[in-house]
Amino acid sequence: MRGALIAIEGLDRTGKTTQTERLLVKLKELNIKHKLVKFPKRDTQIGNLINTYLTEKSFQLSDQAAHLLFSANRWEIIDEIKKELQGGTVVILDRYVYSGVAYSAAKGLDFQWCLNPDVGLPKPDLTVFLQFKQSENASRTGFGDERYEVAEFQEKVKLLFENFSTNSEWSPLYVDGLTIDQVHEEIWSLFKQYLEGLDEDLQVF
């Protein structure tokens, strides 16, 4: 049986990385084969360029070129991900196509244009979207220095993510007032349903 493909999505500072790590610990405890892929995957040549773009404001790229690099970064590793899935490994994605589209469309690029380069990539079986009911994250301090870590921009991205809410695999999870453990329990109860009975074929974007 193939492994499940699970994406954890959300705005910056919603606890995505903490939660993907918690999920991995749980899978390890249960002896379930698993692999984490964090996008952007910064340790490839394309990923290196993306990292420079995100961390060095002097590095100029058109919005379109930056967008295509993020997409290419997914395509360059997708065969490896598919192989893992076929071998029964659960693959957890920390960000994926949805971040790709929402962050670029928030800059004013056309939504469908943004999705086009990712058409054909496998769709996750489940996408957990971490968000705040209140626009709490905008008022939070502590945004870092990377290019997109600006409150007003995050608000735009949040609105763009809403376009995906009609996707059948999309599960929004409000984290307001919940502890790390409580969010983990919620994610786990969603995820458990995908451990068995998956269709052999993955859907694609």
Binding site for ligand FDM (CB under 6 A): 12, 39-40, 54, 70, 95, 99-100, 103, 148
Query: In this structure, which amino acid lies at residue 165?
Result: S
Closest CA to 92 of 22, 149, 193, 20: 20
DSSP for 87-100? TT-EEEEES-HHHH
Which residue, 1 or 180, is less far from ligand FDM as judged by CB?
180
Alpha carbon 100 to its chain centroid, in Å, reads 8
Provide the strand spans (E) within 117-192.
126-131, 170-174
Which residue, 89 or 99, is less far from ligand FDM as judged by CB?
99
Token pair 């600006």: residue: 150
CB of 147 to ligand FDM, least distance (A): 7
CB of 199 to ligand FDM, least distance (A): 26
CB of 171 to ligand FDM, least distance (A): 19
Which residue, 12 or 84, is less far from ligand FDM as judged by CB?
12
Which residue, 153 or 191, is less far from ligand FDM as judged by CB?
153
- SS3 call for 19: helix
CB of 160 to ligand FDM, least distance (A): 11
